[in-house]
Chains A and B, each alone.
Chain A
Amino acid sequence: MPYPPEVLDHFEHPRRVGSLPASDPAVGTGFVQAPQHGDVIRLQLQVAPEGERVTDARFKAYGCGWAIACASLAADRMPGRSLDEVLAIGRDELARALSLPADKMHCARLAEEAVAAAVADIRRKRAGAAALDGAGGREREIR
């Protein structure tokens, strides 16, 4: 069965491969592994210090071409979105955009988990910073 052209495009020309400094307070990192596959995705996003919008995103992935394509597409769709909008990048959106067959849905699910982990990480960082400031004023923005 030939591969869907959307998958091949992202696999052969992956968008946003690379790394952001994980210790940067403006960077959220999601690192997830599929226990049965060994596939690993690291997805990172950067948010402007006072802002809510994602300004940059990078990924690295080890696994089958389907998982790499899902990670590439997820990273590519992050910039410009708010964190809540980023969280909406789920398996269904990825699967639809890549024409994934049903038996590759687990690859989209792994990318979805990486997105959620990256958002959780940046929110944790910001909550920690807000707690240190001793002020709850930014709480709404963080949520």
Chain B
Amino acid sequence: MNLPVYLDSHATTPVDPRVLDAMLPYFTERFGNPSSRSHAFGWAADEAVERAREQVAALIGANLREVVFTSGATESNNLAIRGVAAPKASGHVITAVTEHKAVLDPCRRLEREGFRVTYLRVGRDGLVDPDEVRAAIAADTILISIMAANNEIGVLQPIETIGRLARERGLLFHTDAVQAIGKVPFDVKALGVDLASISAHKLYGPKGVGALYVRRRHPRVEPVPLADGGGQERGLRPGTLNVPGIVGLGAAAELCRLEMRAETDRLRGLRDRLLGGLDARVPGLRVNGSMSERLPHNLNVAFPGVEGEALVMGLKDVAVSSGSACTSASIEPSHVLKGLGLSDDMARASIRFGLSRFTTEEEIDFAVDAVSRLVVRLREMSPLRG
């Protein structure tokens, strides 16, 4: 077992060696620009990009012309939200308080530009209530944006129900699906999604590349591009394509499609082993968010009586992330955990575990032992407990 153990897979995942193998030739001998229509270098690059587009489309049940390659999920979210709003002078957008900053910040920009945004609350389980989505819809609503799976607590939002609702009311529906795609079944037709953001480095592909699913029919969705340029990606995302990255995203998507079922069962088993092991050794542990509607490889738990920042510092052989960041002014508890209604202390006591394709049982047992011992030690050091 190599130390430190990596259990922060919601932040990023390693590139699968098979993905890297697929990418490497496109840095060197197959270096062509897919926009070069007049020679073999360009044709080879274009062919590789189109194969990757098919691979991504196959993973999410899309038509291949509905996949637009981008630099990653932040760009995809911006293109979806700002791109849909751009042709209008005003309007109303519905999202949720537990969204990623890459959705919340574009929404805040829209507010500054004269749009209205409803930030829906979530329940203690972290889930959006579709009835509240329905109640929030106004005459001028143009877009609903609700994430598929949360990056901190891993809860799976009722996307299919919200998609059906959006369809009934003739509204566009975007989902930041970065944490879900490749991990759990995700089919744009079954879910009624019009726009979906994808990131390669969350599914064992490289950083700096992603995609946006853009529905072409029923309805035809036409976001305004964020930049002007050479017309690549049907003008939606001009700029020379990141061919090695796109090849990597395609290869990663294909592996996820082929291996998801087996991987899901294995990861759920390991995750439950992690929770069971911690629960047996740490009294008072609390799981944040729904356990049933949840990614198989996520665990987010609060260890009352200790601060997550201290846990992270003490776990030098286990890479995890805490629900807060200690800065000079204050420890800012995660907006997601606060959104669940957790107190500041409980939010600060929380740790996120993210398992991956490469996580082993031995690593889980090591993490259980290291975390348990540290929590006990820190609690003994606390003046607030006896």
CA distance A64 to B314 in the complex (A): 10
Q: Which of B328, B344, B383 interacts with A38 by CB under 8 Å?
A: B344
Q: Give Cα A43 to B146, complex, Å.
A: 48
Chain A interface size, as a band, is 20 to 34
CA distance A99 to B340 in the complex (A): 37
Complexed CA–CA distance, A38 and B346 (Å): 11
Q: Which residue of A lies closest to B313 (CB)?
A: A65
* Docked CA distance A14–B381 (Å): 9
Q: Is the CB of B314 within 8 A of A61?
A: no
Q: Considering the complex, which residues of chain A in the window 1-35 have a beta carbon less than 8 Å from any beta carbon of chain B?
A: 3, 7-8, 11-12, 14, 17, 31
Q: Does B163 contact A (CB under 8 A)?
A: no
Measured in the bound complex, the distance between the Cα atoms of B382 and A3 in whole Å is 22
Closest Cβ–Cβ distance, residue A104 to chain B (whole Å)? 8
- A66–B312 Cα distance when bound, in Å, is 11
* Interface size, B (range): 20 to 34
Query: Cβ of A62: which chain B residues have Cβ within 8 Å of it?
Result: 305-307, 381-384
The residue from A41, A64, A65, A105 contacting B383, defined by CB atoms under 8 A apart: A41
A19 CB to nearest B CB, Å? 8
Q: Provide the residues of chain B in CB contact with A12, threshold 8 Å.
A: 314
Which of A7, A14, A17, A39 touches B307 (beta carbons < 8 Å)?
A39
Q: Which residues 268-322 of B have a CB within 8 angstroms of A?
A: 305-307, 309-310, 313-314, 316
Residues of A within 8 A of B305 (CB): 62
Contact A38 B381 (CB under 8 A): no
**Cβ–Cβ < 8 Å partners of B348 in chain A:** 38
Instruction: Give the chain A neighbours of B380 by CB distance below 8 A.
Output: 17
Instruction: Verify if A125 is at the interface (C-beta below 8 Å from B).
Output: no
Asked if A63 contacts B310 (CB within 8 A), the reply is: yes
Name the B residues within 8 Å of A11 (CB-CB): 310, 313-314
Interface residues of A (CB under 8 A from B): 3, 7-8, 11-12, 14, 17, 31, 36-42, 60-66, 68, 102-106
